[in-house]
Amino acid sequence: MNRLADKVAVITGSASGQGRAAALRFAREGANVIVADFDEEGGRLVAQEIVDDGGNASFRRVDVTSEGDVAELIQYTVDAHAQIDIMYNNAGLVRMAPIADLPTADWDFTVLFELTQVYYGCKYALREMKRRGSGVIVNTASTSGLVGIPTHGPHAATKAGVIGLTRSIAVDYGADGIRCNAIAPGFVPFTKQTAYLSNDSSFIDMMVAVQPLKRPGTPDDVASAALFLASDEASWITGQVLAVDGGHTAM
């Protein structure tokens, strides 16, 4: 069953990690995927991997912190495919420290890379989706936006912001046939966003200890949740936050 047949999906941050897993999964389910990333080499490799597997994909270089770049990404998609059905705002980078020790520049960096760029993606995707009277937005939040985690202050603030933005969009645009939901992943080691923690065995052990399912998450775990929310199986779900965290937020 092709759950995304004839759909056009833009996935930011899809040259690696959770975004790459989603790009591969969406393509296998029939979507025409726009692999959007600042990493040109990695993004082109992912797009080629999809094509070699019999799927449809193209790469578009984008700096998600540039409003102009994001606007051009959406215009490219519409020009090439006449539509955009799914916008998956997955990209993000963070700098973390206890708030009293956090340089203001790192706060500004995190807000730009984790919240403002999601606003850009939603803003321009919504304009095209509203014209067509349908569309799905999936935003990447985090369990840091739901529960307190040491040193995660800036990450917590931006991801709570993503959750609030997601709910507001769901309310404002539901009557236009547009759904908007968020995924809140728990700790997924060995991705670009968590590389600085992935070799810290004590941190990984701590994160595994606080969840009922005693294993770290994988990019494929998150991609499966994104696929569900993007598909028609979730056609009556909007404004929700799906925690993909091994049960961490249930503790």
Domain of residue 14, CATH code: 3.40.50.720
Query: Which of 29, 19, 138, 125 shows the shortest CA–CA distance to 78?
Result: 125
Structural element, H or E, at residue 61:
strand 56-61
Q: Is residue 3 part of a domain?
A: no
d(CA 52, CA 58): 12
Determine the pLDDT at residue 197.
Answer: 57
Helical H segments across 29-103, by residue range: 40-52, 67-81
Structural element, H or E, at residue 33:
strand 32-37
Q: Is residue 251 part of a domain?
A: no
Give me the sign of the Cα torsion angle 177, 121, 150, 188.
Answer: positive
Length of the chain: 251
Query: Which of 154, 179, 165, 181 shows the shortest CA–CA distance to 244?
Result: 181
Taking the model in full, what pTM does it have?
0.95
Determine the pLDDT at residue 63.
Answer: 98
Determine the pLDDT at residue 187.
Answer: 85
Between the two ends of the chain, the Cα-to-Cα distance in Å is 36
Q: Is residue 89 part of a domain?
A: yes
Domain containing residue 201: 8-244
Q: Is residue 2 part of a domain?
A: no
Task: Classify residue 69 as exposed, middle or buried by CB count within 10 Å of its CB (0-12, 13-18, 19+).
Answer: middle
Return the structure tokens found at 48.
Answer: 């080629």
Residue that has been written with the tokens 């739901």 in this structure: 146
Q: Is residue 1 part of a domain?
A: no
State the angle between helix axes of 117-132 and 153-173 in degrees (0 to 180), rounded to the nearest 10.
Answer: 10
Q: Is residue 182 part of a domain?
A: yes
Q: Is residue 204 part of a domain?
A: yes
Give the max Cα distance, the chain. 51
d(CA 119, CA 187): 24
Structural domains counted in the chain: 1
Sheet of strand 8-12: strand arrangement = 56-61, 32-37, 8-12, 86-89, 135-140, 178-185, 241-244
d(CA 94, CA 125): 24
In angstroms, what CA-CA distances link 118 with 50, 55, 60, 66, 169? 25, 27, 17, 11, 12
Q: Is residue 78 part of a domain?
A: yes
d(CA 62, CA 73): 7
pLDDT per residue rounded down to tens, the chain (251 residues): 699 999 999 999 999 999 999 999 999 999 999 999 999 999 999 999 999 999 999 999 999 999 999 999 999 999 999 999 999 999 999 998 999 999 999 999 999 999 999 999 999 999 999 999 999 999 999 999 999 888 889 999 999 999 999 999 999 999 999 999 999 999 887 655 555 555 567 777 877 888 899 888 999 999 999 999 999 999 999 999 999 999 999 98
